[in-house]
Amino acid sequence: MSKQEKYDKFTADLEEAGFEVRPYNGRFFYRGPAVRIEQDELQDVIRATTVKLQWDDMGKGLIVYPIETCAMSFNPLPPSPFRKY
């Protein structure tokens, strides 16, 4: 499933379940659709779609959005000749 197909399915499924889908520019460079929910609504969101999800705890609720997979892993530090792996 392409990223756009995943976004479309996530949006359609959650709007059908009564959740408000909004754009989210969040952590780990994610940009796409998401829903803001209370902690006790998490299972309802998970049951509403077959798209794999992840969420960020914002302290007063959760932001739930599709998992994005990346072909490259992000390593902010270059390899060090002094570090033993």
- Quote the radius of gyration of the chain (alpha carbons, Å): 16
Per residue in 25-37, pLDDT (tens digit) is: 876 678 899 999 9
Q: Is residue 71 part of a domain?
A: no
Structure tokens at 85: 């792996």
In this structure, is residue 36 part of a structural domain?
yes
Within-domain flag for 35:
yes
Alpha-helical regions (H) of the chain: 3-16, 42-48
- pLDDT for res 79: 56
Asked if residue 59 belongs to a domain, the reply is: yes
Q: Mean pLDDT over residues 62-70, rounded?
A: 83
Span of 5-19, 28-42, 59-73 with lowest mean pLDDT: 59-73
The domain of 55 spans: 3-66
On whether residue 14 sits in a domain, the answer given is yes
Number of structural domains in the chain: 1
For 41-65, the pLDDT digits (tens) are 999 999 999 999 999 998 889 999 9
Placement of tokens 């006790």 in the chain: 40
Residue 30 confidence (pLDDT): 84
Spell out the residues 6+ positions from residue 74 whose beta carbon is closer than 8 angstroms to its own.
28, 29
Residue 45 in any domain: the answer is yes
- Say if 72 falls within a structural domain: no
